[in-house]
Each structure stands twice: as C-alpha cells, then as structure tokens.
Structure 1
Amino acid sequence: MTSTQSTPSPDMQALKARLKATWESGDYGVFARSLEPGALVFLRELNIRPGERFLDVACGAGQLVIPASRMGVDATGVDIAANLIGQARERAAAEHLPARFDEGDAEDLPYPDAGFDVVSSLVGAMFAPRPEHVAAELLRVCRPGGRVVMGNWTPSGFVGGLFRVLGRHVPPSPLMPSPMGWGDEATVRERLGWGARELGFERFAYPFAYPFGPAEVVEFFRAFYGPTNRAFAALDEGGQAALRADLEAYWAEHNRARDGTTRLDSELLVVRLVRA
C-alpha cells in the first residue's frame, strides 16, 4: 500500500508551491555545512546498524544519508527541493555510495507501508504545512517495532525566536501552522502518540558556530538559507534594512563569542518513537 493522503485545496497547493520555491532558493547544501557537527551527533544517536533500512525525510543535500551510507546503512533520502536532491546524488556518486535520493513531499511519501526500520527528520519535516499528514506518513512508512526519530527546533529556543523576528517583517500564511509546534512535547504526543508503542523526548543544545560576526551571519543566512533569503526578497529597500537591523541585534544578543566570531546554541527537541 502507498499513501492515501487527500488532495490539497487550491490555496494549500499554492502555499506548498511557495514553500518548495523557498527551500530551493539560497543553497541549503552550503548552509548545512555549518550545522554538520550537530547533525553528526544526531546521526550517531540514531544507532542505526549496517544493513538497516533508513529513511531521512526532508534530507536536504544528504547531511545524514551520506554518512549513514558510508557506515553500511541501506540509506534513502527524500526532499521537496529538486536542486538539493541533485546535490545529494552528486555527492553519493562521487563517493561511489549506494545511497538513494528521491524528490518527494513529507506529506505524501513515495514509499510503501512499513518499508523502513528507522525513519528520521532533522529540522526538516517540521516545516511542512500540514503536520497531521506528516505524522501519518512518518508512521506509515516505518515498520512495526521500527523507530521514528525527529529533531525539531523548540518555540523557546534560538531558532524559534529567529522565526518570530522574520514573522514580524514578513507574516506567514494563515494556512501555515507554526513549525515550532513540532518542538512542543504535548503537541507531538497528539500528532504521533496514536502510532507509538513507546514515545520519549530529549533536549539537545544544537551548536551554531561561524568564523565571523553577527552582521556577516545575517548575510550568510540571507544568501544561503531559503526562509531568510525569501523574507528579504519580499521586502523593499527600507524593509530589508529594518529586517537586517533586527536580525543583527538578535544574533548579537545571543552570541557567546567575544573574538569577532559567532557561537551559540539552539534548543532541539529530540522525539524518539517505537512504532506500534
């Protein structure tokens, strides 16, 4: 059996098209390199064994799938951004890895029921606009007794605040629930608890580190991170200046470094589920 998700309304289809364009803007493959240390910690904590079938949902340019494939895992990645899937395939081919990458939607995964032993998503599927569909799909493609593990930004963490800054300048669509709902334990229990034999949570301080100051970090996000890139593109010159000033102030406020670089942590809610 494959997904039986309902067809989105025309307004939702338009929103999903805009979100796809957002994640295809900038260059998340470049952006994610700065987040690689935390991603590798997340991957190690998955404890995937060689030969297990592993799916990473909203995989970007393969930040988890490529190293998992190096370890002998039967690794697959899926992402809505066609350009990132292209990057991931090129990376796998360059290393002669058997990792598979597919363009696809977290709300309508192109895989059969119970096809994977471990299903993960690291700050990816949380940004899909219909969380109830995402939850159903993560559970559907995981075998009974298999594991679903998510890493989601929390509302109270640094990234939660960063999106509030963006939202003050470019309000999100009323059709789009806050992605940070995935960082709230009670909300996650409502969405995933029905399919869980076990469900637990951990908090993880995800490191951000850049060899330049907050002003340069803002420009880095503007160039390479889709949501920031699109927020700036939606504003006129004055609006862009105001957004830049608020973002620089926010980064400077939370920066622990005093040597011209930028270092801080953002709270991640790690969701660990054993499929019923």
Structure 2
Amino acid sequence: MNPNRALWEKGDFTRIAATMRDSGDALVETFGITDGLKILDLGCGDGTTALPAAKRGADVLGVDIASNLVEAGNKRAIETGLSNCTFQEGDASDLNELDDASFDLVVSIFGAMFAPRPYDVAKEMVRVTRPGGRIIMGNWIPGDPTLIAQVLRVSAAYTPPPPDDFISPVTWGVEDEVVARFTAAGVSSDNIAFARETFTFNAAVPPSDLLSNFRRYYGPTMNAFEAAGKDGRADSLQADLEELFNGHNTAFRKDTTSIPATFLRVTVSRD
C-alpha cells in the first residue's frame, strides 16, 4: 500500500476533523465563493472545507488518498443534502483523472502538504486550475510554537529517522520553498502571496480527551506512540503531549478545549 494512504487510513481522522468545523467554515467564508464556482478540495479529508464551500453555492469535488475519508465525506454530503459536493480517491502528486484547467479554485487545507513529491503536487495543482483561477493552501509552519507544528515536532523526536529522500510536509510552511515549487510549475513569483492565519481546534472535552483522540485516531501521533512503546518511552511521549495540549488551551472552562494553531496561507493566482 502507498505509505501515505496507509498513514491516513490508519486511524479515523474524522474524530480530529470534528474539532475543526468552525474554523473550516470561517476560512471558507474568506474564499469569495460565488454560485457555480468549480472547486477542487485536495486532501479534503471528510469535507471540513468542501462542505462549507458547497453550502455557499460552489460545485465541489473533494479528492483524498484515504478511502475511509472519501466514504465519510460522501456520507456527510448526502446527509446534508448537498448534491453539488462529491468525493473521490486520488493522489495529490498525480491527478491523472482530472482534466487541465478544469477548476476555478483549487483548495488544500492541511492536505496536499502531506503528499510526497511536492514539486509534482504544485505542478498538478497549477495544471488543473484554469487561467484566471486561484490556488489556496493552508500549511503548518515548521518550528511554529503553536499546537500542530509542536505535535509534529514532539512526535518526530520519538520516531525513527525518516528515509534520506524524505521531504518533510512542513516545508510547505516555508515561503521560499513554496515559491520554488510553484515557479517551477510555471507561476510567476509575483502571483504568490502569503499570510499567517489561525485555525482553532474546539472540543467540548478537556485537553486530555482531545489528546486521547490524537493518540487513537491521528496517524502521525499513532505512529509516534507505537515507536515510543517499542523503546519504553510511551509514558514520556504522553507527558510531553499532555503538557503541550494543556499549555495551549485557551478555553475558560477546564472541561472544554480551544487551542489556536498558526498556519501559512498561500494564495496563487493563475495567469
């Protein structure tokens, strides 16, 4: 199995995505969606941004490498009565089933950044975007002090070193790297813009319960605990992550969680 598919089918990311709905909806509100706009949501999960886009009148295709998330997305669309939102399996590095210049807006929020071969990802996103269209990405930032970047950093400290040819997903959070990838795909650097924005994880449970969901359902964290367990360090990893989740919680009540995380918003205008 494709290792990227195995990673995201390993757990049940819908349990994490449930804490991301409010921020996903707020982010989509900034996209300037009009009726009939054709949107590709790449690495869409179960539709955290795809469904809000469809509710605003766009025709949305969600593509994800994980079959369980595609199934969950289609189920959510049906339950919501959205006939203008469908999901299918696909690899962000090779969108061979999609035609050139077929979307007005290509969106990938914490999705395509995890695909291998980032230069191919940029090339494919540009290829399927029509002239005059846009690409919007949301990417976690390496070394950022907020939640997800720190979860990935802590998890990496407990896992074996990656292969020599591994390119970290969070390099999509480095502006120079993003420029290099999109200019190689034929985009002028003048057409690439950046902003730092906030995504908030909200849950009606304490931070320790949210961490439990990450441990049980979030592929990278699951892998970290498996590796740490083999070394007898699972308790240490648990303690490090508990400190992180509790320390970043901004909720007024101790039995709820609200944790902001900074990300790099990338906007690419297609000539």
TM-score normalised to structure 2 length = 0.90
Structure 1 match to 2:197: 204
Give the letter aligned to residue 121 of structure 1: S
- 1:84 deviates by 0.6
Aligned with 2:63: secondary structure?
strand
Structure 1 match to 2:172: 182
User: Which residue of 22, 28, 32 corresponds with 1:47?
Assistant: 32
Report percent identity of matched pairs. Answer: 39
User: Which residue of 202, 209, 212 corresponds with 1:216?
Assistant: 209
Structure 2 match to 1:104: 90
Structure 1 match to 2:19: 34
Give the letter aligned to residue 243 of structure 1: L
Structure 2 match to 1:250: 244
User: Which residue of 81, 85, 100 corresponds with 2:66?
Assistant: 81
Structure 2 match to 1:195: 187
Structure 2, unmatched stretches of 5+, are none
Cα distance in 1, alignment partners of residues 6 and 59 from structure 2: 29
Structure 1 match to 2:150: 161
- 1:72 deviates by 2.1
Cα distance in 1, alignment partners of residues 78 and 257 from structure 2: 34
- 1:258 deviates by 5.6
- 1:157 deviates by 4.0
Query: What per-residue deviation string (whole Å, max 9, x for no partner) do you get for residues 140-178 of structure 1?
Result: 110111000001111114221211100000135223212
Aligned with 1:114: secondary structure?
coil
- 1:267 deviates by 0.8
Give the letter aligned to residue 182 of structure 1: W
User: Which residue of 78, 95, 116 corresponds with 1:93?
Assistant: 78
Residues matched between the structures, number: 261
CA contact (8 A) 1:48 1:118 kept: no
Cα distance in 2, alignment partners of residues 30 and 217 from structure 1: 9
User: Which residue of 212, 231, 248 corresponds with 2:224?
Assistant: 231
CA contact (8 A) 2:108 2:138 kept: yes
Structure 1 match to 2:45: 60
Aligned with 1:86: secondary structure?
helix
State which drifts further: 97-106 or 168-177: 168-177
Query: What per-residue deviation string (whole Å, max 9, x for no partner) do you get for residues 73-128 of structure 1?
Result: 11100000001101111122223322221100000012011110000100111111
User: Which residue of 119, 124, 127 corresponds with 2:114?
Assistant: 127
CA contact (8 A) 1:116 1:143 kept: yes
